[in-house]
A and B are shown apart, each in its own frame.
Chain A
């Protein structure tokens, strides 16, 4: 069942205390490690948008929401218990398997904080970037710079990894600004990694990525003073693959099912969990598995969360404002597939006895969404349309985002030509509690024509 904010509070009253206290992160026993809280808790701490959203009413999904919104505190707690914090920026997928090969390391993506202004319906982070002379015409990802300045969203990282190259430019410029903040700071190491483009001849790109990863493993080993071994990396990759595999299963089950066993907002959060496992890989693994089992049960019991008549659509590029997903679902669609520009975090890393694991990581990374031609990204979306028999595609854009400025029309043209389904392009405006009326009209017209 999908419920609103207030209904969740009612449901929460019936959850026994022993269950509330059962779920803790980092396998710690302390009270601070608890995370099973309803949306109300996070709304009280400023996440105002939660009041407008709809949520899955299962305990499994409550666990998901609680875990995700607890991440800021979790990162501070990690540092307090002497874990090393690695900020991974820009790569979106290839590096965390290496980080999680080390016991004392926690990796996280500051990149994901671009959602913060939207969940809190707040402009402060934009104002701070404005003061630092970032133009208003740049991508929302600029707020990440403000989170570094504020030191209130994550502790000071022990290492910052910035990946740049065949990727989006806005973020590369944000990373440069962050670098300027840190380069004099001897306590925080900052390294740049090159992301090569995907071209027909793959060997050079694989070689470059592999060298990146090997260099990184060496640096991480120095930071942790923990010996790095190939066996550790293999075991790190296996852990990541387990999560990626379970997510793939989940995505297929949800997409192919006759009913909608899970809402799109939860699916978005789950997909992004593949990036860095919200800073606790072991707990994330359990949460994901719990939801996978829930979905299996719902399919077996024919229990969906949306109207059966809702039309299937595919969503491309993650919406900065999650309210849009809810609006689409409330108005007769069901999001069965997605291309949220993190394809590199979804593919299984092809390890086997005969392959060096660094090579496997590099090969896997070459499936990234944005490092190739737009046509190749279109192909990922087209595949989803065909696989899940979708009736339409929505591409949400971000004003000022460099890739959107050049790829969206090509994507639309390719998808329409190859699938014959309509494509709607929408712009996601700055944080607000509501969707503009004009956009709603366009969305409704699109849905009517599916």
Chain B
């Protein structure tokens, strides 16, 4: 069964161990068609994801949804109303680091597993294999993309999640730039947003990012262990700004800042994404770097304004 997902916390190794075929849903296009169940201030990413689903941008049989934000948590109900015969699996992923909350999540996953396989020993065995395979692939991928420019990196990583393997990489040129270095972070980053990165790279070099669709997705390697340890790694080690408190995410950023000696930060938030847009001041204060917030709802009329702001930020 082909199963679509988009959240980084999705236990893809487990999905594979259950003989499912995970497909990461990273929309490449912007469609205008939307559902009437989304109000005007719903998340632009979720609205565009929905449009891509309706336009059959991917072929899959089921969708695996986690609940890291309110929009994600409520998406299933809208999909159920709008798309016939789509199997929806909704799993609650904790926002806090409470251990009982982890137990809650673990039990949800156990119930999910039971829908496909009753033999937990078998799953544990297969899971270890899948973790090992994916970790190796991710490490290899990391080596390949490490020296690429940001957009190329994003493209290769996207391809990796789509095909589930290292993509063709013969003609990839290492990249060197003397422009000022920035850390680029923010909401779910898809090809629809790539023009923003292009505009940033007119002035800066994006030497590090924390997008779950780019670097954050390949920066972490679960232990080759049993199901519980594996899930606990996802629960406790992978940073996300939506977790409460989001300190691990900040520490992750700090390491990048120190490692790459970055002086400026560009925070990209999709409109109505409070999780990122609320954090501008905190980022600035905690990381002690000038921070620019740019917002987009995928509409083209915001792009020019954005470029002006990036230019001004460069001069500041």
Contacts and interface: CB of A to CB of B under 8 A. Distances in A.
Direct A–B touching in the complex (beta carbon < 8 Å)? yes
A192 B74 contact: no
Contact of A169 (B71, B75, B293): B71
A170 interface: yes
A177 to B, nearest CB: 6
B244 A176 contact: yes
A375 B78 CA distance: 11
Interface in A371-420: 373-375, 397, 399-400, 402-410
Interface in B39-88: 39, 41-43, 67, 69-71, 73-75, 77-78, 81
Interface stretch (A56-64, A103-111, A201-209): A201-209
Residue with the highest number of chain B CB atoms closer than 10 Å, among A139, A400, A404, A405: A405
Contacts of B77: 373-375, 406, 410
A5 interface: no
Contacts of B95: 164-165, 172, 194
A212 B100 CA distance: 9
A173 B272 contact: no
Nearest to A398: B41
B41 A400 contact: yes
A404 B245 CA distance: 25
A137 B78 contact: no
B29 to A, nearest CB: 23
| Highest count of chain B CB atoms <10 Å: which of A139, A196, A208, A403 | A208
Given A134-B278, A169-B70, A406-B70, A193 B96 contact: yes
Residue from A164, A194, A409 whose CB has the most chain B CB atoms within 10 Å: A194
Interface string B91-109: 0101111101101100110
A188 interface: no
A410 B92 contact: no
Given A137-B271, A192-B245, A410-B77, A204 B278 contact: no
A135 B295 contact: yes
Nearest to A180: B282
What is the size category of the interface that chain B forms with chain A? 35 or more
A204 B272 contact: no
Contacts of B41: 137, 399-400, 404-405
Interface residues of A, number: 53
B14 to A, nearest CB: 19
Nearest to A139: B274
Residue with the highest number of chain A CB atoms closer than 10 Å, among B42, B101, B269, B285: B101
Contacts of B112: none
Contact of B293 (A133, A199, A404): A133
Nearest to A169: B70
B190 interface: no
A267 to B, nearest CB: 27
A230 interface: no
Interface of A: 132-135, 137-139, 142, 162, 164-170, 172-177, 179-180, 183, 192-194, 196-197, 199, 201, 204-205, 207-208, 211-212, 373-375, 397, 399-400, 402-410
5 contacts: A133-B277, A135-B269, A172-B242, A194-B104, A410-B78
Given A208-B98, A405-B42, 5 more contacts: A133-B280, A177-B282, A192-B245, A204-B104, A406-B70
